[in-house]
């Protein structure tokens, strides 16, 4: 009698496990979701600008870094404007950064200063545009 009850319990337990496994497999098979991961890389020069590391930015310019090379579609001056880095923006301008460069949305460095409410760097950029 004990063996019979044990066998019935074992069979019932196995059937529930199989049913759950089958149900889970059907769910996965019919799912059409796709996960897309976008990796955005910003070059070290623009990272230093965003962090406000004036000395590193100055050294990189001295070693020949292009002050107009875009990173993730934005110029170094746009990063300086976005993060209100007044000294760095002045340094970039002294080293030939272009004020009129636009990103894919048509924004200039002055636009980034306005959007970010970076009033200090906006003054520098507006003065340089005169």
CATH number of the domain encompassing residue 58 = 1.25.40.20
Give the pTM.
Answer: 0.69
The Cα 109–Cα 125 span in angstroms is 8
Query: Model confidence at 33, in pLDDT bands (50, 70, 90)?
Result: confident
Instruction: Decide: 93 and 129 in contact? Cβ < 8 Å.
Output: no
Instruction: Decide: 91 and 83 in contact? Cβ < 8 Å.
Output: no
3-state secondary structure of 106: coil
| pLDDT one-digit tens code per residue, 50-108 | 999 999 999 999 999 999 999 899 999 999 999 999 999 999 999 999 999 999 999 99
Asked if the structure places residue 73 within a domain, the reply is yes
Tokens of 83: 């993060």
What is the reported pLDDT for 82? 95
Asked if the structure places residue 9 within a domain, the reply is no
Asked if the structure places residue 79 within a domain, the reply is yes
Total domain count for the chain?
1
Asked if the structure places residue 123 within a domain, the reply is yes
Judged against a pLDDT cut of 70, whether residue 27 lies above it is answered with no
What is the reported pLDDT for 57? 95
Asked if the structure places residue 26 within a domain, the reply is no
Asked if the structure places residue 11 within a domain, the reply is no
Asked if the structure places residue 87 within a domain, the reply is yes
Tokens of 10: 């074992």
Asked if the structure places residue 72 within a domain, the reply is yes
Structural domain boundaries enclosing 69: 44-128
């Amino acid at each position: 009698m004990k063996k019979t009850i044990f066998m019935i319990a074992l069979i019932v337990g196995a059937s529930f496990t199989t049913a759950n496994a089958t149900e889970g497999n059907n769910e996965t098979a019919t799912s059409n979701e796709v996960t897309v991961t976008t990796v955005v890389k910003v070059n070290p020069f623009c990272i230093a600008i965003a962090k406000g590391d004036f000395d590193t930015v100055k050294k990189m310019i001295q070693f020949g870094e292009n002050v107009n090379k875009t990173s993730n579609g934005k110029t170094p001056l746009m990063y300086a404007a976005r993060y209100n880095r007044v000294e760095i923006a002045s340094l970039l301008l002294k080293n030939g950064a272009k004020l009129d460069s636009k990103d894919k949305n048509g924004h200039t460095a002055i636009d980034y200063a306005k959007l970010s409410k970076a009033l200090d760097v906006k003054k520098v950029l507006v003065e340089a545009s005169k």
